[in-house]
């Protein structure tokens, strides 16, 4: 799956991930109205609106990007109906040949991590038959519990040729409270990153490991250091756009080969029609605004990478 | 909800949580057979077996304990059908007046943590109507992302009078990889614990905060230290039984008032009939074995607490 991700990045020339994190407040009125008319003002109605909104965006941008990253919390909040919309979204993205990074930030120990891994990346058995449940291609994972929490995910990834992005340095303002604490003279996240590189050595593609890391766009200095400490680790970079990151800040997350990082934008893509810059797109044409936002983001990042050369 | 938890602990005299973490391998053949006959060897069949197994145990032990802790991974692995079994389990435990601790170990930032909090502890809005989705009473949360990840959960908890248990020092062998790293001369988990106490001050019950901590039974020295550093924090203690913890190791997790900690056992209760000690219970009577295991665990912990006096 890391091969597919890299191939698609090369083909689209876009190291860009669209974060499918739909809030109801992002969804244009005409979609909400239709879903509520059909299913009532219910969890089913809300989940249908989420799915219809996603579908519009996916249809509009799938040829431009290698991957999407649905944030499961935005679906899970609507309970079972929301989880169905999550599953529909994953399946539909696969129909469009997109790589799906499940932003699930799970993490537990032993058989519990194994259960998360089976449900999201692998297979489960019922009697004599096996099934894939949510079936993402990559999943984000929280490292706080150490190797016991990560290894069961890696075991499933090896079997399924799938991958992970493990939280190293997150993009939010308070990420430093624990992640930046100095230990042995260095911030904790450096140790986590070195551990990610170590874990990743178990499951290598050609030039990059299937086991990646998350390093936020809002901490470019950390990106520079982590690029050096984890040369074969793909870095998933959240925090572009709405959270403040710009293409020029991100060049050091990439290796000299122009690979090694993939930048996520959520609100900046899926709710682009709400930004001043794209206000000429009407809410009815929200998906066209998303397409323009992807093109602009790709140009911004590629421009910055070209300038580095 | 912290009031209810404490009241029920006093009433049952059992600071005990039953971990509803059903693996298919724990489920007696007669239950599996019936579910597969009814729904086929499908995800629906597996999820039904999980639910039937849980129901038997809940019916057998609900009067002995204050709370249950379903581990959502064990349900999520079966996809949508598994999530339905999770929801049924939560609802049924509420019918039996049990406090439900959702062991979800979620953690993200800002609006994403808010979405998890809404879906598991709070309410979501669809048009002009509001709904509770999964509706647990407490949830476990991962602190790696710092205050940005925790505050949205606390905000919902305040509104709903619900609570959290935040991971501080987990019970697994590799928990020390990051949690024990020395920073300022002390292990990281002490800083996390102090932060939990600080967060907890925002949302106090009478003597204890709604915001608790997880400290594993397998690290009794950590339990002793954390008890002192977080005097008003309820400690959820995993790792009893199957993971190696015993009542005598746990007295220092409790305050002088005999409160302040609640000990979880999963496999040791729900799969008790598979242990040598309870082998005289047949698989058909697995729920009776669970009841005996709860009684024995309660006696072990109460005995140890009495000896301390």
Q: What is the pLDDT of residues A162-180, one digit of tens each?
A: 999 999 999 999 999 999 9
Query: What average pLDDT does this structure show over A39-64?
Result: 98
pLDDT at B244: 72
- Chain A: closest CA distance from residue B307 (Å): 33
With 80 as the cut, is the pLDDT of residue B48 above it?
yes
- Cα–Cα distance for residue pair A215/A6, rounded to 1 Å: 18
- Chain A: closest CA distance from residue B288 (Å): 25
Task: Considering the candidates A84, A105, A161, A232, report the single residue annotated as catalytic.
Answer: A105
- Cα–Cα distance for residue pair B193/A277, rounded to 1 Å: 44
Strands (E), chain A: 16-18, 67-68, 99-106, 124-126, 129-131, 138-141, 163-169, 182-183, 186-187, 211-215, 235-237, 261-265
With 80 as the cut, is the pLDDT of residue A236 above it?
yes
- Cα–Cα distance for residue pair B221/B288, rounded to 1 Å: 34
Mean pLDDT over all residues of chain A? Answer: 96
- Chain B residues in contact with A156 by the CB 8 A cut-off are none
Largest separation between any pair of C-alpha atoms in chain B: 60
DSSP 3-state assignment of B158? helix
**Is the interface score ipTM higher than 0.90?**
yes
- Percentage of residues in chain B having pLDDT higher than 70: 99
For B48, name the nearest residue in chain A, comparing CA atoms only. Answer: A126
- Cα–Cα distance for residue pair A250/A302, rounded to 1 Å: 10
Cβ–Cβ contact A23 with B under 8 A: yes
Mean pLDDT over all residues of chain B? Answer: 96
Structural contact between residues A274 and A248, judged by C-beta atoms closer than 8 angstroms: no
CA dist B76 → A192, A240, B32, B70, B301 (Å): 27, 30, 18, 11, 32
With 90 as the cut, is the pLDDT of residue A136 above it?
yes
Residues within 8 A of A (CB atoms), B 215-244 only: none
Residues within 8 A of A (CB atoms), B 250-279 only: none
Q: H/E element holding B19?
A: strand B16-20
With 90 as the cut, is the pLDDT of residue A294 above it?
yes
Can you list the alpha helix ranges (DSSP code H) found in A201-236?
220-229
pLDDT band with cut points at 50, 70 and 90 for residue B287: very high
Q: Which residue has the tokens 């449900």?
A: A119
pLDDT at B246: 83
pLDDT band with cut points at 50, 70 and 90 for residue A246: confident
Query: What average pLDDT does this structure show over A252-257?
Result: 95
Closest among A60, A300, A190 to B181, alpha carbons compared = A190
With 80 as the cut, is the pLDDT of residue A244 above it?
no
Can you list the alpha helix ranges (DSSP code H) found in A183-219?
188-200
Task: Considering the candidates B34, B84, B105, B274, report the single residue annotated as catalytic.
Answer: B105
pLDDT at A3: 94
Report which of residues A1 and A229 the model is more confident about: A229
Query: What average pLDDT does this structure show over B237-260?
Result: 89
pLDDT at A38: 98
pLDDT in tens, B264-277: 999 999 999 999 99
Q: In sequence order, which residues have a C-beta less than 8 Å from that of residue A190 and are 6 or more positions away?
A: A225, A226, A229
Cβ–Cβ contact A195 with B under 8 A: yes
Mutate to test the interface with A, among B134, B136, B145, B196 (most CBs of A within 10 A): B145
pLDDT in tens, A190-216: 999 999 999 999 999 999 999 999 999
Cβ–Cβ contact A285 with B under 8 A: no
For A86, name the nearest residue in chain B, comparing CA atoms only. Answer: B80
CB-side exposure of B279: number of CA atoms within 13 Å?
Answer: 3
Q: Which residue has the tokens 């122009």?
A: A258
pLDDT in tens, B120-179: 999 999 999 999 999 999 999 999 999 999 999 999 999 999 999 999 999 999 999 999
- Chain B residues in contact with A178 by the CB 8 A cut-off are 143-144, 146, 188, 191-192
Cβ–Cβ contact A37 with B under 8 A: no
Cβ–Cβ contact A196 with B under 8 A: no
With 80 as the cut, is the pLDDT of residue A309 above it?
no
Selecting from A107, A127, A177 the residue whose C-beta is nearest the C-beta of B36 gives A127
- Chain A: closest CA distance from residue B30 (Å): 13
Query: What average pLDDT does this structure show over A258-284?
Result: 96
pLDDT at A308: 80
- In 10 A of CB B25, how many CB atoms? 8
pLDDT in tens, B59-94: 999 999 999 999 999 999 999 999 999 999 999 999
pLDDT at B308: 80
Residue B105 is a catalytic residue: yes
Q: H/E element holding B182?
A: strand B182-183
- Chain B residues in contact with A129 by the CB 8 A cut-off are 41-42
Q: H/E element holding B102?
A: strand B99-106
CA dist A56 → A62, A280, B126 (Å): 10, 18, 20
For A107, name the nearest residue in chain B, comparing CA atoms only. Answer: B105
B283: DSSP letter: G
Query: What average pLDDT does this structure show over B204-225?
Result: 96
Cβ–Cβ contact A12 with B under 8 A: no
Mutate to test the interface with A, among B19, B26, B31, B109 (most CBs of A within 10 A): B109
- Cα–Cα distance for residue pair B92/B54, rounded to 1 Å: 10
With 80 as the cut, is the pLDDT of residue B309 above it?
no
pLDDT at A87: 98
CB contact under 8 A, A175 and B112: no
Closest among A210, A83, A63, A219 to A150, alpha carbons compared = A210
pLDDT at A169: 98
- Chain A residues in contact with B129 by the CB 8 A cut-off are 41-42
Structural contact between residues A207 and A186, judged by C-beta atoms closer than 8 angstroms: no
pLDDT band with cut points at 50, 70 and 90 for residue A241: confident
Phi-psi map region of A185: left, alpha, beta (phi>0 left; psi -120 to 50 alpha):
left
pLDDT band with cut points at 50, 70 and 90 for residue B195: very high
Query: What average pLDDT does this structure show over A31-44?
Result: 98
């Amino acid at each position: 799956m890391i091969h597919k991700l890299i191939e698609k990045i090369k083909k689209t020339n876009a190291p860009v991930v669209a974060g499918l994190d739909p809030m109801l407040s992002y969804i244009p009125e005409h979609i909400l109205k239709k879903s509520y008319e059909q299913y009532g003002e219910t969890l089913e109605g809300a989940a249908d609106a989420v799915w219809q909104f996603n579908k519009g965006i996916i249809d509009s941008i799938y040829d431009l990007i290698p991957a999407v990253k649905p944030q499961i919390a935005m679906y899970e909040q609507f309970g079972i109906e929301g989880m169905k919309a999550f599953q529909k979204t994953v399946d539909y993205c696969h129909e469009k040949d997109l790589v799906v990074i499940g932003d699930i930030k799970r993490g537990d120990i032993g058989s519990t991590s194994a259960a998360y891994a089976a449900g999201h990346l692998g297979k489960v058995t019922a009697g004599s038959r096996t099934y894939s449940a949510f079936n993402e291609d990559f999943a984000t994972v929280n490292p706080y519990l150490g190797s016991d929490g990560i290894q069961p995910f890696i075991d499933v990834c090896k079997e399924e040729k799938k991958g992970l992005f493990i939280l190293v340095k997150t993009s939010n303002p308070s990420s430093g409270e624990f992640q930046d604490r100095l230990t042995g003279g260095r911030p904790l996240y450096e140790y986590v990153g070195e551990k990610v590189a170590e874990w990743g050595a178990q499951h290598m593609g050609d030039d990059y490991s299937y086991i990646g890391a998350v390093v936020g766009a809002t901490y470019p200095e950390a990106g520079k250091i982590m690029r050096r400490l984890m040369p074969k680790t793909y870095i998933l970079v959240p925090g572009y756009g709405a959270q403040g990151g710009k293409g020029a800040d991100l060049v050091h997350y990439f290796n000299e080969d122009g690979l090694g990082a993939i930048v996520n934008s959520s609100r900046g893509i899926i709710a682009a029609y709400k930004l001043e810059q794209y206000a000429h797109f009407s809410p009815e044409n929200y998906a066209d605004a998303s397409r323009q936002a992807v093109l602009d983001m790709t140009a911004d990042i590629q421009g910055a990478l070209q300038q580095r050369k």
